Amino acid sequence: MKLRLEVVWESEGEEQRRNVMAIERSQLAMETLGLNLGESKTLLDGVQDIVVAQQVAENLEQRRRCSHCGERYGSKGGGTKEVKTLFGRVKVANPRWNRCRCQPSGAKTFRPTLSWLQGQTSPELLYLETKWASLIPFGKVADLLREVLPLDDGTNHETIRRHLHETAERMEKELGAERQLRLFEEEVAQQEDPAPPDGPITVGIDGGYVRAAHKEGFFEVIAGRSVVAFRREAKDEVPEAKCFGYVQTYDEKPRRRLWELMKSQGLQDHQQVVFMSDGGEDVRRVQEYMQPGSEHWIDWFHITMRVTVLQQQTKSLMAEAGRADTGAAIAKRIDSVKHLIWHGNVAEALDRLHDLLDDLDLIRAHSAAAEKLACGMTEFEIYIRNNRQFIPNFGERYRQGETITTAFVESTINQVVSRRFVKKQQMTWTLRGAHLLLQTRTKVLNNELENVFRSWYPQFRPSAKAA
């Protein structure tokens, strides 16, 4: 069998055709059935060249005459510009024409493609590169795209990283300036008689660590999730959750970032915003002045996690010879501390922790487990003491049906940070690189990247818009 594929089009009322490729088959087998991958690449590449050439030729023809007098522009020179598309590199005719004689002023020559020809990469390719690089490593994205599409060595982990950074930088530029406390007060003062807002927005924030490039050690990235409890208009609607992330020591506008995210979830003035975190200083800083009347609480989840660690250390103490009773008694007392914190009785909880530490002091010199437990308990005491103003009466909140924990935050850190940033020990990051990747990654996870591209390129993926 011999098959010839050609493209047929109409130009000035005449049918034009050009050969794209030939397919030859002798023996039918599963592996020869239909097009193979190599043929599909040749086909796409060939068709793309013809489509682009026709589009550009037609557009140039439409622009060929002066809009004032109808005279044809004189040619000052030819030229082409190379553009990388999803289906291979294409050469775009990019001539230079003379200014029309009827126009007395302006540049002597101009390029008619100037109105549409921007950049060297088609948005479709840029989008796919950015989307996949937000999910899997840069090199893997290059391998994958080159395997299935007619792309050459110009698609590699360096170009993909650069394209993702360019996309993220453009998003960052459009974010606007950091928000100040003063702004909130002015805006609230302007509001009169606001409608009752939707249910509270709960924002869970946590930190994770990634390995730093060019030096030893790690740096912290912040990730979190914002959830609207309910909509006043549609109470049955499933609450909407969106995640966010940034590098604390790099980001210059974390408040604006979070505010825009909550705005996209319909944040209204006077809407209650509840922040839950593990109370770290840098995490708390962002939440200040976010919204008048916003609350910040320690997430119950983080307290139980710490208590669980203490209880495990108590088990080691019980396992030591002759300390089973002492260990069991301490375990019970730790439980009562947890109980007091649950009811927001922090002062009493701290007193009991001090008693426990006094008792552990008596035996820690002779017991490795007691020494370890005492260290853990000292840390826990500092944690509770530093965060006492952020520890609510969890029991009361729980009975009122209010949020006491964002247990999802642990999985958010995993989803936003770990899965992409710390897969392999040797993966290292610059502050900027990590921050920019977090921006595109959260857009992808929130299903928003396509909308971002559509706001830049209105005709991008029109079918998805209609759906």
The residues that touch Zn ion, with contacts defined as CB under 5 A, are 66, 68-69, 71, 100, 102
The whole-angstrom separation of Cα 60 and Cα 117 is: 12
Of the pair 115, 190, the CB lying nearest Zn ion is at 115
Residue type, 314: T
Residue among 259, 248, 250, 240 at smallest CA distance from 223: 248
- Enumerate residues 6+ apart whose C-beta is below 8 A from 398: 404
To the nearest whole angstrom, how small is the minimum distance from the Cβ of residue 61 to Zn ion?
Answer: 17
Q: Which residues lie across from 93 on neighbouring strands? A: 80
| Environment class of 46 (CB within 10 Å of its CB; exposed 0-12, middle 13-18, buried 19+) | buried
Could you give the residue ranges of the DSSP H alpha helices within 78-117?
none
To the nearest whole angstrom, how small is the minimum distance from the Cβ of residue 66 to Zn ion?
Answer: 3
Residue type, 207: G
Of the pair 68, 424, the CB lying nearest Zn ion is at 68
To the nearest whole angstrom, how small is the minimum distance from the Cβ of residue 117 to Zn ion?
Answer: 23
To the nearest whole angstrom, how small is the minimum distance from the Cβ of residue 111 to Zn ion?
Answer: 17
The whole-angstrom separation of Cα 369 and Cα 329 is: 15
What letter does residue 446 receive in the DSSP assignment?
T
Of the pair 111, 140, the CB lying nearest Zn ion is at 111
Of the pair 100, 328, the CB lying nearest Zn ion is at 100
The whole-angstrom separation of Cα 286 and Cα 289 is: 8
Number of C-beta neighbours around residue 461 at 10 A: 15
Residue type, 299: D
Q: Which CA distances in Å does 355 have to 223, 310, 359?
A: 37, 15, 6
To the nearest whole angstrom, how small is the minimum distance from the Cβ of residue 184 to Zn ion?
Answer: 55
The whole-angstrom separation of Cα 133 and Cα 169 is: 15
Of the pair 98, 272, the CB lying nearest Zn ion is at 98
To the nearest whole angstrom, how small is the minimum distance from the Cβ of residue 72 to Zn ion?
Answer: 9
The two structure tokens encoding residue 283:
């995490």
Of the pair 67, 115, the CB lying nearest Zn ion is at 67
Of the pair 70, 217, the CB lying nearest Zn ion is at 70
Of the pair 80, 103, the CB lying nearest Zn ion is at 103
To the nearest whole angstrom, how small is the minimum distance from the Cβ of residue 68 to Zn ion?
Answer: 4
Number of C-beta neighbours around residue 287 at 10 A: 23
- Cβ–Cβ < 8 Å for 195, 270: no
To the nearest whole angstrom, how small is the minimum distance from the Cβ of residue 430 to Zn ion?
Answer: 53
